[in-house]
């Protein structure tokens, strides 16, 4: 369930960027916030439920700098 919700959130954020960036430039920051939260949830999913060391290494090593963007994205969006 957590996996599908995270994938749907990433897909919705990409659609938000594609269809709304011309009208509202803040939608890019909001989409980055959603993507960073979704990758954080995906990494927890792979650690707790999957036990696949390859995907754990991919998510923790490559996406961990993206998680630090949640605070600044929320600040600049508000």
pLDDT in tens, 6-64: 999 999 999 999 998 888 888 999 999 999 999 999 888 888 888 888 888 888 888 88
DSSP assignment of 41-69: HHHHHIIIII--HHHHHHHHHHSHHHHTT
Decide: pTM greater than 0.95: no
Buried b (16+ CB within 10 A) or exposed e, 47-62: eeeeeeeeeeeebeee
Interacting residues of 66 by C-beta distance below 8 A, sequence separation 6+: 35, 36, 39
């Amino acid at each position: 369930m957590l996996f599908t919700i995270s994938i749907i959130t990433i897909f919705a954020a990409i659609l938000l960027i594609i269809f709304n960036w011309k009208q509202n430039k803040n939608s890019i920051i909001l989409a980055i916030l959603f993507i960073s939260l979704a990758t954080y949830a995906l990494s927890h999913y792979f650690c707790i439920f999957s036990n696949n060391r390859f995907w754990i290494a991919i998510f923790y090593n490559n996406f961990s700098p993206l998680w630090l963007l949640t605070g600044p994205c929320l600040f600049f969006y508000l």
